A and B are shown apart, each in its own frame.
Chain A
Protein backbone atom coordinates (compact mmCIF):
# COMPACT_ATOMS: atom_id res chain seq x y z
CA UNK A 1 0.00 0.00 0.00
CA UNK A 2 2.74 2.47 1.01
CA UNK A 3 4.69 2.48 -2.25
CA UNK A 4 1.48 2.85 -4.23
CA UNK A 5 0.55 5.85 -2.09
CA UNK A 6 3.82 7.63 -2.73
CA UNK A 7 3.58 7.01 -6.45
CA UNK A 8 -0.03 8.08 -6.20
CA UNK A 9 0.80 11.56 -4.90
CA UNK A 10 3.25 11.93 -7.73
CA UNK A 11 0.45 10.99 -10.06
CA UNK A 12 -1.88 13.57 -8.51
CA UNK A 13 0.71 16.31 -8.85
CA UNK A 14 1.17 15.37 -12.43
CA UNK A 15 -2.22 16.86 -13.14
CA UNK A 16 -0.13 19.93 -13.82
CA UNK A 17 2.47 18.11 -15.87
CA UNK A 18 0.73 15.29 -17.76
CA UNK A 19 3.85 13.56 -19.04
CA UNK A 20 5.16 11.53 -16.06
CA UNK A 21 1.74 10.15 -15.21
CA UNK A 22 1.40 9.08 -18.78
CA UNK A 23 4.59 7.11 -18.34
CA UNK A 24 3.36 5.25 -15.21
CA UNK A 25 0.28 4.33 -17.18
CA UNK A 26 2.45 2.94 -19.95
CA UNK A 27 4.57 0.94 -17.54
CA UNK A 28 1.47 -0.48 -15.87
CA UNK A 29 -0.05 -1.40 -19.16
CA UNK A 30 3.25 -2.89 -20.31
CA UNK A 31 3.46 -5.09 -17.22
CA UNK A 32 -0.04 -6.42 -17.72
CA UNK A 33 0.67 -6.97 -21.39
CA UNK A 34 3.83 -8.91 -20.52
CA UNK A 35 1.78 -11.14 -18.21
CA UNK A 36 -0.65 -11.76 -21.05
CA UNK A 37 2.28 -12.58 -23.32
CA UNK A 38 3.35 -15.36 -20.96
CA UNK A 39 0.64 -17.47 -22.61
CA UNK A 40 2.55 -17.44 -25.90
CA UNK A 41 5.78 -18.27 -24.09
CA UNK A 42 4.17 -21.30 -22.45
CA UNK A 43 2.71 -22.68 -25.65
CA UNK A 44 6.06 -22.11 -27.35
CA UNK A 45 7.94 -23.86 -24.52
CA UNK A 46 5.63 -26.87 -24.58
CA UNK A 47 6.06 -27.15 -28.35
CA UNK A 48 9.83 -26.62 -28.09
CA UNK A 49 10.33 -29.19 -25.34
CA UNK A 50 8.27 -31.84 -27.10
CA UNK A 51 10.14 -31.25 -30.37
CA UNK A 52 13.54 -31.39 -28.69
CA UNK A 53 12.62 -34.49 -26.70
CA UNK A 54 11.27 -36.24 -29.76
CA UNK A 55 14.18 -35.28 -32.04
CA UNK A 56 16.09 -38.53 -31.60
CA UNK A 57 13.02 -40.61 -32.28
CA UNK A 58 11.94 -38.48 -35.23
CA UNK A 59 15.39 -38.91 -36.77
CA UNK A 60 15.77 -42.65 -36.29
CA UNK A 61 12.17 -43.87 -36.50
CA UNK A 62 10.50 -41.03 -38.35
CA UNK A 63 6.75 -40.66 -38.60
CA UNK A 64 6.15 -44.15 -39.89
CA UNK A 65 5.88 -45.22 -36.24
CA UNK A 66 2.31 -43.93 -36.31
CA UNK A 67 1.18 -46.76 -38.55
CA UNK A 68 3.65 -49.42 -37.54
CA UNK A 69 2.01 -52.07 -35.43
CA UNK A 70 4.65 -53.29 -33.05
CA UNK A 71 5.73 -51.72 -29.75
CA UNK A 72 8.55 -53.77 -28.32
CA UNK A 73 10.98 -51.71 -26.22
CA UNK A 74 13.10 -54.78 -25.48
CA UNK A 75 13.85 -55.23 -29.18
CA UNK A 76 14.08 -51.45 -29.60
CA UNK A 77 11.10 -51.46 -31.91
CA UNK A 78 8.63 -48.62 -31.52
CA UNK A 79 5.38 -48.61 -33.44
CA UNK A 80 2.54 -46.57 -31.99
CA UNK A 81 -0.31 -48.02 -34.03
CA UNK A 82 -1.87 -49.98 -31.12
CA UNK A 83 -2.05 -46.75 -29.13
CA UNK A 84 -3.33 -44.67 -32.02
CA UNK A 85 -6.10 -47.21 -32.50
CA UNK A 86 -6.77 -47.35 -28.76
CA UNK A 87 -7.04 -43.57 -28.55
CA UNK A 88 -9.29 -43.26 -31.59
CA UNK A 89 -11.61 -46.11 -30.63
CA UNK A 90 -12.10 -45.04 -27.01
CA UNK A 91 -12.59 -41.40 -28.00
CA UNK A 92 -15.12 -42.12 -30.71
CA UNK A 93 -17.01 -44.54 -28.50
CA UNK A 94 -17.11 -41.80 -25.87
CA UNK A 95 -18.42 -39.28 -28.42
CA UNK A 96 -21.02 -41.75 -29.64
CA UNK A 97 -22.37 -42.04 -26.11
CA UNK A 98 -21.84 -38.48 -24.92
CA UNK A 99 -22.99 -36.33 -27.84
CA UNK A 100 -26.65 -37.47 -28.00
CA UNK A 101 -26.96 -37.47 -24.21
CA UNK A 102 -25.13 -34.17 -23.87
CA UNK A 103 -27.09 -32.36 -26.56
CA UNK A 104 -30.34 -33.77 -25.16
CA UNK A 105 -29.46 -32.47 -21.71
CA UNK A 106 -28.43 -29.12 -23.16
CA UNK A 107 -31.83 -28.84 -24.87
CA UNK A 108 -33.45 -29.73 -21.59
CA UNK A 109 -31.45 -27.06 -19.75
CA UNK A 110 -31.89 -24.35 -22.35
CA UNK A 111 -35.49 -24.92 -23.38
CA UNK A 112 -37.45 -27.15 -21.03
CA UNK A 113 -36.14 -27.07 -17.48
CA UNK A 114 -37.81 -25.14 -14.71
CA UNK A 115 -35.39 -22.71 -13.17
CA UNK A 116 -34.83 -24.76 -10.05
CA UNK A 117 -34.33 -28.16 -11.73
CA UNK A 118 -32.17 -26.58 -14.38
CA UNK A 119 -29.96 -25.08 -11.68
CA UNK A 120 -29.63 -28.51 -10.07
CA UNK A 121 -28.57 -30.15 -13.33
CA UNK A 122 -26.05 -27.39 -14.13
CA UNK A 123 -24.68 -27.68 -10.62
CA UNK A 124 -24.24 -31.44 -11.05
CA UNK A 125 -22.51 -30.82 -14.38
CA UNK A 126 -20.09 -28.42 -12.73
CA UNK A 127 -19.35 -30.92 -9.97
CA UNK A 128 -18.78 -33.67 -12.55
CA UNK A 129 -16.33 -31.39 -14.33
CA UNK A 130 -14.52 -30.75 -11.05
CA UNK A 131 -14.04 -34.41 -10.06
CA UNK A 132 -10.40 -35.38 -10.59
CA UNK A 133 -9.67 -37.79 -13.39
CA UNK A 134 -8.08 -40.32 -11.02
CA UNK A 135 -11.40 -40.65 -9.17
CA UNK A 136 -13.19 -41.61 -12.38
CA UNK A 137 -10.37 -44.09 -12.82
CA UNK A 138 -10.80 -45.90 -9.54
CA UNK A 139 -14.58 -45.86 -9.95
CA UNK A 140 -14.20 -47.41 -13.39
CA UNK A 141 -11.74 -49.97 -12.09
CA UNK A 142 -13.46 -51.04 -8.86
CA UNK A 143 -17.15 -50.45 -9.66
CA UNK A 144 -17.78 -50.34 -13.40
CA UNK A 145 -15.35 -53.11 -14.39
CA UNK A 146 -16.99 -55.84 -12.23
CA UNK A 147 -20.43 -54.86 -13.56
CA UNK A 148 -19.19 -55.05 -17.13
CA UNK A 149 -17.38 -58.33 -16.49
CA UNK A 150 -20.24 -60.16 -14.84
CA UNK A 151 -23.29 -58.68 -16.54
CA UNK A 152 -22.93 -56.40 -19.54
CA UNK A 153 -20.13 -58.08 -21.46
CA UNK A 154 -21.40 -61.68 -21.17
CA UNK A 155 -24.77 -60.40 -22.43
CA UNK A 156 -23.11 -58.61 -25.35
CA UNK A 157 -21.11 -61.72 -26.22
CA UNK A 158 -24.17 -63.94 -26.02
CA UNK A 159 -26.39 -61.77 -28.21
CA UNK A 160 -23.97 -59.91 -30.46
CA UNK A 161 -20.92 -62.15 -30.27
CA UNK A 162 -21.17 -62.91 -33.99
CA UNK A 163 -20.18 -59.29 -34.69
CA UNK A 164 -16.38 -59.11 -34.35
CA UNK A 165 -16.76 -55.82 -32.44
CA UNK A 166 -18.46 -57.63 -29.56
CA UNK A 167 -16.48 -60.85 -29.54
CA UNK A 168 -13.86 -61.97 -27.10
CA UNK A 169 -13.68 -62.60 -23.39
CA UNK A 170 -15.35 -60.46 -20.71
CA UNK A 171 -12.44 -58.79 -18.93
CA UNK A 172 -14.35 -55.82 -17.57
CA UNK A 173 -11.43 -53.57 -18.33
CA UNK A 174 -10.71 -52.56 -21.91
CA UNK A 175 -11.92 -50.31 -24.72
CA UNK A 176 -15.59 -50.45 -23.68
CA UNK A 177 -14.91 -49.47 -20.08
CA UNK A 178 -12.55 -46.66 -21.15
CA UNK A 179 -15.13 -45.38 -23.65
CA UNK A 180 -17.87 -45.25 -21.03
CA UNK A 181 -15.65 -43.51 -18.47
CA UNK A 182 -14.51 -41.00 -21.10
CA UNK A 183 -18.14 -40.35 -22.05
CA UNK A 184 -18.98 -39.52 -18.44
CA UNK A 185 -15.98 -37.21 -18.30
CA UNK A 186 -16.67 -35.26 -21.50
CA UNK A 187 -20.42 -34.89 -21.07
CA UNK A 188 -20.11 -31.70 -18.97
CA UNK A 189 -18.11 -30.02 -21.74
CA UNK A 190 -20.74 -30.89 -24.33
CA UNK A 191 -23.64 -29.89 -22.11
CA UNK A 192 -22.28 -26.54 -20.97
CA UNK A 193 -21.14 -25.37 -24.40
CA UNK A 194 -24.17 -26.68 -26.30
CA UNK A 195 -26.38 -24.95 -23.76
CA UNK A 196 -24.59 -21.64 -24.19
CA UNK A 197 -24.74 -21.98 -27.94
CA UNK A 198 -28.46 -22.77 -27.81
CA UNK A 199 -29.11 -19.79 -25.56
CA UNK A 200 -27.17 -17.60 -27.99
CA UNK A 201 -29.50 -18.43 -30.88
CA UNK A 202 -32.13 -15.71 -31.36
CA UNK A 203 -35.42 -16.24 -29.57
CA UNK A 204 -37.23 -14.98 -32.64
CA UNK A 205 -36.34 -18.24 -34.43
CA UNK A 206 -38.37 -20.21 -31.92
CA UNK A 207 -41.17 -17.66 -31.81
CA UNK A 208 -41.43 -17.63 -35.60
CA UNK A 209 -41.58 -21.40 -35.90
CA UNK A 210 -44.11 -21.69 -33.05
CA UNK A 211 -46.21 -18.96 -34.68
CA UNK A 212 -46.21 -21.00 -37.88
CA UNK A 213 -47.73 -23.89 -35.94
CA UNK A 214 -44.63 -25.93 -35.20
CA UNK A 215 -44.68 -28.20 -32.18
CA UNK A 216 -42.21 -27.51 -29.39
CA UNK A 217 -39.91 -30.27 -30.63
CA UNK A 218 -39.96 -28.84 -34.14
CA UNK A 219 -39.13 -25.37 -32.93
CA UNK A 220 -36.27 -26.80 -30.87
CA UNK A 221 -35.11 -28.45 -34.07
CA UNK A 222 -35.01 -25.02 -35.72
CA UNK A 223 -32.91 -23.65 -32.85
CA UNK A 224 -30.62 -26.71 -32.99
CA UNK A 225 -30.15 -26.14 -36.67
CA UNK A 226 -28.94 -22.59 -36.01
CA UNK A 227 -26.70 -23.83 -33.20
CA UNK A 228 -25.18 -26.63 -35.26
CA UNK A 229 -21.69 -25.16 -35.79
CA UNK A 230 -21.39 -24.43 -32.08
CA UNK A 231 -22.50 -27.92 -31.11
CA UNK A 232 -20.02 -29.34 -33.59
CA UNK A 233 -17.42 -27.18 -31.85
CA UNK A 234 -18.47 -28.56 -28.49
CA UNK A 235 -18.11 -32.11 -29.81
CA UNK A 236 -14.64 -31.42 -31.21
CA UNK A 237 -13.62 -29.80 -27.93
CA UNK A 238 -14.87 -32.84 -26.04
CA UNK A 239 -13.05 -35.10 -28.50
CA UNK A 240 -9.87 -33.16 -27.79
CA UNK A 241 -10.34 -33.73 -24.11
CA UNK A 242 -11.01 -37.44 -24.62
CA UNK A 243 -7.91 -37.86 -26.78
CA UNK A 244 -5.66 -36.44 -24.10
CA UNK A 245 -7.36 -37.87 -21.03
CA UNK A 246 -4.85 -39.97 -19.20
CA UNK A 247 -5.36 -41.21 -15.67
CA UNK A 248 -8.90 -42.53 -15.82
CA UNK A 249 -8.14 -44.35 -19.06
CA UNK A 250 -4.86 -45.76 -17.75
CA UNK A 251 -6.73 -47.37 -14.89
CA UNK A 252 -9.50 -49.01 -16.89
CA UNK A 253 -8.07 -49.91 -20.30
CA UNK A 254 -5.82 -52.82 -19.35
CA UNK A 255 -2.56 -51.49 -20.77
CA UNK A 256 -1.43 -54.00 -23.35
CA UNK A 257 0.61 -53.33 -26.47
CA UNK A 258 -1.59 -55.47 -28.70
CA UNK A 259 -3.92 -53.94 -31.26
CA UNK A 260 -7.50 -54.21 -29.96
CA UNK A 261 -9.92 -55.74 -32.46
CA UNK A 262 -13.05 -55.83 -30.31
CA UNK A 263 -14.67 -53.38 -27.89
CA UNK A 264 -14.11 -55.95 -25.15
CA UNK A 265 -10.36 -56.19 -25.75
CA UNK A 266 -7.91 -54.51 -23.42
CA UNK A 267 -5.64 -51.97 -25.05
CA UNK A 268 -3.81 -48.74 -24.38
CA UNK A 269 -4.03 -45.16 -25.60
CA UNK A 270 -1.34 -42.70 -26.58
CA UNK A 271 -1.77 -40.83 -23.31
CA UNK A 272 -1.93 -43.95 -21.17
CA UNK A 273 1.25 -45.45 -22.60
CA UNK A 274 3.13 -42.25 -21.75
CA UNK A 275 1.79 -42.34 -18.19
CA UNK A 276 2.63 -46.02 -17.86
CA UNK A 277 6.06 -46.27 -19.37
CA UNK A 278 7.65 -42.83 -19.08
CA UNK A 279 9.48 -43.45 -15.82
CA UNK A 280 10.39 -46.98 -16.93
CA UNK A 281 11.89 -45.87 -20.23
CA UNK A 282 15.46 -47.02 -19.90
CA UNK A 283 17.07 -46.06 -23.20
CA UNK A 284 17.16 -42.58 -24.77
CA UNK A 285 15.34 -43.82 -27.87
CA UNK A 286 12.56 -45.37 -25.76
CA UNK A 287 12.05 -42.06 -23.92
CA UNK A 288 12.24 -40.14 -27.16
CA UNK A 289 9.60 -42.36 -28.78
CA UNK A 290 7.27 -41.69 -25.85
CA UNK A 291 7.87 -37.94 -26.14
CA UNK A 292 7.14 -38.19 -29.86
CA UNK A 293 3.76 -39.66 -28.95
CA UNK A 294 3.25 -36.65 -26.65
CA UNK A 295 4.22 -34.38 -29.53
CA UNK A 296 1.59 -35.98 -31.76
CA UNK A 297 -1.01 -35.54 -29.01
CA UNK A 298 0.04 -31.91 -28.61
CA UNK A 299 -0.23 -31.14 -32.33
CA UNK A 300 -3.55 -32.97 -32.73
CA UNK A 301 -5.18 -31.29 -29.73
CA UNK A 302 -3.85 -27.85 -30.74
CA UNK A 303 -5.36 -28.17 -34.21
CA UNK A 304 -8.64 -29.58 -32.91
CA UNK A 305 -8.99 -26.99 -30.19
CA UNK A 306 -8.15 -24.21 -32.58
CA UNK A 307 -10.87 -25.43 -34.90
CA UNK A 308 -13.43 -26.01 -32.16
CA UNK A 309 -12.94 -22.57 -30.60
CA UNK A 310 -13.42 -20.91 -33.97
CA UNK A 311 -16.70 -22.78 -34.42
CA UNK A 312 -17.94 -21.82 -30.94
CA UNK A 313 -16.82 -18.19 -31.37
CA UNK A 314 -18.63 -18.11 -34.67
CA UNK A 315 -21.97 -18.92 -33.05
CA UNK A 316 -21.64 -17.06 -29.76
CA UNK A 317 -19.63 -14.11 -31.06
CA UNK A 318 -16.80 -14.79 -28.59
CA UNK A 319 -19.03 -14.33 -25.58
CA UNK A 320 -18.82 -17.87 -24.29
CA UNK A 321 -16.23 -18.63 -21.66
CA UNK A 322 -15.10 -22.03 -22.78
CA UNK A 323 -11.80 -21.99 -20.94
CA UNK A 324 -13.46 -23.07 -17.74
CA UNK A 325 -15.66 -25.65 -19.38
CA UNK A 326 -13.01 -27.61 -21.16
Chain B
Protein backbone atom coordinates (compact mmCIF):
# COMPACT_ATOMS: atom_id res chain seq x y z
CA UNK B 1 0.00 0.00 0.00
CA UNK B 2 2.63 2.48 1.06
CA UNK B 3 4.81 1.36 -1.82
CA UNK B 4 2.22 2.02 -4.49
CA UNK B 5 1.54 5.40 -2.90
CA UNK B 6 5.22 6.21 -2.94
CA UNK B 7 5.49 5.10 -6.58
CA UNK B 8 2.41 7.15 -7.47
CA UNK B 9 3.95 10.12 -5.68
CA UNK B 10 7.09 9.82 -7.77
CA UNK B 11 5.13 9.37 -10.98
CA UNK B 12 3.03 12.48 -10.37
CA UNK B 13 5.99 14.65 -9.41
CA UNK B 14 8.01 13.41 -12.39
CA UNK B 15 5.08 14.16 -14.69
CA UNK B 16 5.00 17.74 -13.37
CA UNK B 17 8.72 18.19 -13.97
CA UNK B 18 8.32 16.71 -17.46
CA UNK B 19 5.37 19.00 -18.22
CA UNK B 20 7.44 22.05 -17.33
CA UNK B 21 10.23 20.80 -19.56
CA UNK B 22 7.93 20.13 -22.53
CA UNK B 23 6.30 23.52 -22.14
CA UNK B 24 9.65 25.31 -22.28
CA UNK B 25 10.82 23.31 -25.31
CA UNK B 26 8.82 25.11 -28.08
CA UNK B 27 10.26 28.48 -27.11
CA UNK B 28 13.78 27.12 -27.33
CA UNK B 29 13.00 25.63 -30.76
CA UNK B 30 11.28 28.74 -32.07
CA UNK B 31 14.04 31.07 -30.92
CA UNK B 32 16.63 28.68 -32.33
CA UNK B 33 14.98 28.55 -35.75
CA UNK B 34 14.43 32.29 -35.77
CA UNK B 35 18.10 32.89 -35.21
CA UNK B 36 19.15 30.11 -37.58
CA UNK B 37 16.97 31.17 -40.48
CA UNK B 38 16.62 34.89 -39.85
CA UNK B 39 20.02 36.07 -38.66
CA UNK B 40 21.69 35.50 -42.04
CA UNK B 41 19.55 38.17 -43.66
CA UNK B 42 20.20 40.75 -40.96
CA UNK B 43 22.07 43.63 -42.51
CA UNK B 44 21.93 47.37 -42.63
CA UNK B 45 20.24 47.04 -46.00
CA UNK B 46 17.30 45.26 -44.44
CA UNK B 47 16.54 48.32 -42.32
CA UNK B 48 17.31 51.03 -44.87
CA UNK B 49 16.19 49.68 -48.25
CA UNK B 50 12.83 49.27 -49.88
CA UNK B 51 11.51 45.86 -50.94
CA UNK B 52 12.75 44.78 -54.37
CA UNK B 53 10.42 43.52 -57.13
CA UNK B 54 10.03 39.77 -57.62
CA UNK B 55 13.16 38.17 -59.03
CA UNK B 56 15.60 40.77 -57.79
CA UNK B 57 17.54 39.66 -54.77
CA UNK B 58 18.22 41.88 -51.79
CA UNK B 59 16.21 44.83 -50.66
CA UNK B 60 14.81 45.46 -47.23
CA UNK B 61 11.69 46.30 -45.32
CA UNK B 62 12.42 49.93 -44.50
CA UNK B 63 8.88 51.03 -45.33
CA UNK B 64 7.35 48.28 -43.22
CA UNK B 65 9.55 49.03 -40.22
CA UNK B 66 8.77 52.75 -40.40
CA UNK B 67 5.09 51.94 -41.00
CA UNK B 68 4.92 49.77 -37.90
CA UNK B 69 6.60 52.47 -35.82
CA UNK B 70 4.16 55.14 -37.06
CA UNK B 71 0.99 53.06 -36.67
CA UNK B 72 1.99 51.70 -33.28
CA UNK B 73 3.21 55.13 -32.17
CA UNK B 74 -0.12 56.77 -32.94
CA UNK B 75 -2.02 53.92 -31.31
CA UNK B 76 0.11 54.32 -28.19
CA UNK B 77 -0.32 58.09 -28.16
CA UNK B 78 -4.08 57.57 -28.08
CA UNK B 79 -4.30 54.54 -25.80
CA UNK B 80 -1.72 55.42 -23.14
CA UNK B 81 -3.30 58.65 -21.79
CA UNK B 82 -6.77 57.09 -21.69
CA UNK B 83 -5.50 53.83 -20.27
CA UNK B 84 -3.37 55.46 -17.58
CA UNK B 85 -6.23 57.78 -16.55
CA UNK B 86 -8.60 54.83 -16.34
CA UNK B 87 -6.04 52.81 -14.37
CA UNK B 88 -5.49 55.67 -11.93
CA UNK B 89 -9.25 55.94 -11.50
CA UNK B 90 -9.49 52.24 -10.65
CA UNK B 91 -6.60 52.39 -8.19
CA UNK B 92 -7.47 55.66 -6.45
CA UNK B 93 -11.26 55.85 -6.61
CA UNK B 94 -12.19 52.35 -7.66
CA UNK B 95 -14.19 51.00 -4.78
CA UNK B 96 -17.74 51.12 -6.07
CA UNK B 97 -19.88 49.07 -8.41
CA UNK B 98 -18.92 51.24 -11.41
CA UNK B 99 -15.23 50.48 -10.92
CA UNK B 100 -15.89 46.77 -10.52
CA UNK B 101 -17.82 46.84 -13.78
CA UNK B 102 -15.00 48.73 -15.51
CA UNK B 103 -12.50 46.18 -14.25
CA UNK B 104 -14.63 43.31 -15.45
CA UNK B 105 -15.32 44.89 -18.84
CA UNK B 106 -11.62 45.62 -19.28
CA UNK B 107 -10.78 41.99 -18.68
CA UNK B 108 -13.48 40.88 -21.08
CA UNK B 109 -12.24 43.39 -23.67
CA UNK B 110 -8.79 41.86 -23.47
CA UNK B 111 -10.31 38.54 -24.54
CA UNK B 112 -11.99 39.79 -27.72
CA UNK B 113 -10.12 38.29 -30.70
CA UNK B 114 -7.92 40.81 -32.49
CA UNK B 115 -9.50 39.88 -35.83
CA UNK B 116 -12.88 40.99 -34.47
CA UNK B 117 -11.34 44.28 -33.37
CA UNK B 118 -10.03 44.59 -36.92
CA UNK B 119 -13.51 44.07 -38.35
CA UNK B 120 -14.86 46.73 -35.99
CA UNK B 121 -12.12 49.18 -36.98
CA UNK B 122 -12.95 48.47 -40.60
CA UNK B 123 -16.55 49.47 -39.98
CA UNK B 124 -15.60 52.45 -37.80
CA UNK B 125 -12.86 54.02 -39.91
CA UNK B 126 -12.34 52.34 -43.29
CA UNK B 127 -15.97 52.41 -44.42
CA UNK B 128 -16.62 56.10 -43.56
CA UNK B 129 -13.24 57.13 -45.01
CA UNK B 130 -13.81 55.13 -48.15
CA UNK B 131 -10.36 53.50 -48.15
CA UNK B 132 -7.87 51.50 -46.13
CA UNK B 133 -5.62 53.70 -44.03
CA UNK B 134 -2.84 53.71 -41.48
CA UNK B 135 -5.20 55.55 -39.16
CA UNK B 136 -7.65 52.64 -39.16
CA UNK B 137 -4.77 50.36 -38.18
CA UNK B 138 -3.87 52.66 -35.30
CA UNK B 139 -7.45 52.64 -34.04
CA UNK B 140 -7.49 48.84 -34.02
CA UNK B 141 -4.15 48.60 -32.21
CA UNK B 142 -5.14 51.28 -29.68
CA UNK B 143 -8.20 49.22 -28.73
CA UNK B 144 -6.00 46.15 -28.31
CA UNK B 145 -3.51 47.99 -26.09
CA UNK B 146 -6.03 49.54 -23.75
CA UNK B 147 -6.90 46.65 -21.41
CA UNK B 148 -3.27 45.85 -20.59
CA UNK B 149 -2.43 49.51 -19.94
CA UNK B 150 -5.45 49.98 -17.67
CA UNK B 151 -4.91 46.91 -15.53
CA UNK B 152 -1.13 47.31 -15.18
CA UNK B 153 -1.42 51.02 -14.38
CA UNK B 154 -3.90 50.12 -11.66
CA UNK B 155 -1.47 47.57 -10.29
CA UNK B 156 1.46 50.04 -10.34
CA UNK B 157 -0.49 52.85 -8.68
CA UNK B 158 -1.65 50.47 -5.96
CA UNK B 159 1.99 49.73 -5.16
CA UNK B 160 2.56 53.33 -4.04
CA UNK B 161 2.59 53.24 -0.23
CA UNK B 162 -0.45 54.63 1.56
CA UNK B 163 1.78 56.82 3.66
CA UNK B 164 2.63 58.96 0.59
CA UNK B 165 -1.01 59.87 0.16
CA UNK B 166 -1.54 60.41 3.85
CA UNK B 167 1.51 62.68 4.05
CA UNK B 168 0.35 64.77 1.09
CA UNK B 169 -3.20 65.02 2.37
CA UNK B 170 -1.95 65.91 5.85
CA UNK B 171 0.00 68.79 4.33
CA UNK B 172 -3.29 70.13 3.05
CA UNK B 173 -3.00 69.05 -0.58
CA UNK B 174 -6.33 68.33 -2.22
CA UNK B 175 -7.00 64.82 -3.43
CA UNK B 176 -6.36 65.52 -7.11
CA UNK B 177 -3.06 67.19 -6.33
CA UNK B 178 -2.03 64.29 -4.15
CA UNK B 179 -2.66 61.89 -6.99
CA UNK B 180 -1.20 64.08 -9.72
CA UNK B 181 1.93 65.28 -7.97
CA UNK B 182 2.73 62.64 -5.38
CA UNK B 183 1.23 59.27 -6.33
CA UNK B 184 1.74 59.43 -10.10
CA UNK B 185 5.42 60.47 -9.99
CA UNK B 186 6.06 57.64 -7.51
CA UNK B 187 4.44 55.13 -9.86
CA UNK B 188 5.83 56.67 -13.03
CA UNK B 189 8.56 54.13 -13.79
CA UNK B 190 6.15 51.25 -13.40
CA UNK B 191 3.48 52.88 -15.52
CA UNK B 192 5.92 53.72 -18.30
CA UNK B 193 7.28 50.19 -18.50
CA UNK B 194 3.84 48.60 -18.34
CA UNK B 195 2.54 50.86 -21.09
CA UNK B 196 5.53 50.12 -23.29
CA UNK B 197 4.88 46.43 -22.75
CA UNK B 198 1.36 46.84 -24.11
CA UNK B 199 2.72 48.85 -27.03
CA UNK B 200 5.31 46.18 -27.80
CA UNK B 201 2.64 43.48 -27.79
CA UNK B 202 0.47 45.46 -30.17
CA UNK B 203 3.42 45.95 -32.51
CA UNK B 204 3.33 42.22 -33.26
CA UNK B 205 -0.37 42.10 -34.16
CA UNK B 206 -1.14 41.15 -37.74
CA UNK B 207 -4.79 40.20 -38.01
CA UNK B 208 -6.31 43.60 -37.18
CA UNK B 209 -4.05 45.30 -39.74
CA UNK B 210 -4.98 43.09 -42.71
CA UNK B 211 -8.05 45.10 -43.62
CA UNK B 212 -7.31 48.39 -41.88
CA UNK B 213 -3.76 49.46 -42.73
CA UNK B 214 -3.75 46.80 -45.46
CA UNK B 215 -0.11 47.02 -46.53
CA UNK B 216 1.82 48.89 -49.16
CA UNK B 217 4.82 47.97 -51.28
CA UNK B 218 5.80 51.60 -51.61
CA UNK B 219 7.04 54.34 -49.34
CA UNK B 220 4.12 56.14 -47.75
CA UNK B 221 3.89 58.36 -44.71
CA UNK B 222 0.35 59.63 -45.17
CA UNK B 223 -2.01 58.45 -42.50
CA UNK B 224 -5.07 58.33 -44.72
CA UNK B 225 -3.54 55.82 -47.10
CA UNK B 226 -2.60 52.16 -46.83
CA UNK B 227 0.69 51.68 -45.01
CA UNK B 228 3.14 48.80 -44.86
CA UNK B 229 3.69 47.12 -41.49
CA UNK B 230 6.22 44.54 -40.44
CA UNK B 231 3.76 41.79 -39.41
CA UNK B 232 1.72 42.03 -42.61
CA UNK B 233 4.92 42.07 -44.64
CA UNK B 234 6.11 38.90 -42.92
CA UNK B 235 2.75 37.28 -43.64
CA UNK B 236 2.88 38.20 -47.34
CA UNK B 237 6.51 37.19 -47.75
CA UNK B 238 6.06 33.89 -45.93
CA UNK B 239 3.19 32.89 -48.22
CA UNK B 240 5.02 33.88 -51.39
CA UNK B 241 6.42 31.03 -53.50
CA UNK B 242 9.93 32.54 -53.67
CA UNK B 243 12.73 31.25 -51.49
CA UNK B 244 14.41 34.63 -51.07
CA UNK B 245 11.11 36.18 -49.99
CA UNK B 246 10.63 33.38 -47.46
CA UNK B 247 14.12 34.03 -46.13
CA UNK B 248 13.26 37.70 -45.78
CA UNK B 249 10.10 36.73 -43.93
CA UNK B 250 12.27 34.92 -41.38
CA UNK B 251 14.53 37.95 -41.04
CA UNK B 252 11.46 40.15 -40.65
CA UNK B 253 10.15 37.81 -37.96
CA UNK B 254 13.47 37.94 -36.14
CA UNK B 255 13.44 41.75 -36.22
CA UNK B 256 9.85 41.77 -34.97
CA UNK B 257 10.60 39.38 -32.13
CA UNK B 258 13.70 41.34 -31.16
CA UNK B 259 11.59 44.47 -31.16
CA UNK B 260 8.86 42.92 -29.02
CA UNK B 261 10.61 40.52 -26.67
CA UNK B 262 13.79 42.38 -25.96
CA UNK B 263 11.77 45.43 -25.05
CA UNK B 264 9.49 43.27 -22.91
CA UNK B 265 12.39 41.49 -21.24
CA UNK B 266 14.29 44.67 -20.48
CA UNK B 267 11.14 46.30 -19.16
CA UNK B 268 10.40 43.26 -17.06
CA UNK B 269 13.78 43.60 -15.35
CA UNK B 270 13.25 47.32 -14.80
CA UNK B 271 9.81 46.71 -13.34
CA UNK B 272 11.24 44.18 -10.96
CA UNK B 273 13.82 46.69 -9.82
CA UNK B 274 11.14 49.32 -9.37
CA UNK B 275 9.04 46.91 -7.34
CA UNK B 276 11.79 45.79 -5.04
CA UNK B 277 13.58 49.14 -4.88
Binding site for B on A (CB under 8 A): 4, 8, 11-12, 14-15, 21-22, 24-25, 27-29, 31-33, 35-40, 42-43, 45-46, 49-50, 52-53, 100-105, 107-109, 111-113, 121, 123-128, 130-139, 141-143, 184, 187, 191, 215-218, 220, 237, 240-241, 243-247, 251, 271, 274-275, 278-279, 290-291, 294, 297-298, 301-302, 304-306, 308-309, 318, 321-324, 326
Contact = CB atoms under 8 A, between A and B. Distances in A.
Nearest to B179: A28
Interface of B: 5-6, 8-9, 11-13, 15-20, 22-24, 26-27, 29-30, 33-34, 37, 81-83, 85-86, 88-90, 92-94, 98-99, 102-117, 119-120, 122-124, 143, 146-148, 150-152, 155, 172-177, 179-181, 197, 200-201, 203-207, 210-211, 214, 231, 234-235, 238-239, 246, 249-250, 253, 256-257, 260-261, 264-265, 268
B261 A36 contact: no
Nearest to A120: B24
A103 B122 CA distance: 38
A298 B112 contact: yes
4 shortest interchain CB distances as A-B pairs:
A244-B113, A132-B204, A104-B19, A35-B85
Chain B contact surface mostly: helix
A250 B30 CA distance: 18
A215 B20 contact: no
Nearest to A320: B107
B120 A46 contact: yes
Contacts of B110: 322-323, 326
A11 B109 contact: no
B27 A306 contact: no
A29 B88 CA distance: 10
Contacts of A215: 5-6, 8-9
A177 to B, nearest CB: 13
A298 B147 CA distance: 16
26 contacts: A4-B180, A8-B177, A33-B98, A35-B81, A36-B89, A39-B106, A42-B109, A46-B117, A123-B265, A126-B264, A131-B27, A132-B203, A132-B206, A135-B253, A139-B34, A220-B12, A244-B113, A247-B235, A251-B239, A278-B211, A294-B116, A298-B113, A302-B108, A306-B108, A309-B108, A326-B111
Given A33-B89, A237-B111, A279-B211, A294 B177 contact: no
B117 A138 contact: no
A135 B238 CA distance: 10
A9 B113 CA distance: 48
A322 B109 CA distance: 12
Contacts of B124: 45, 49
Given A42-B143, A109-B20, A305 B93 contact: no
B111 A53 contact: no
A25 B178 CA distance: 10
B238 A28 contact: no
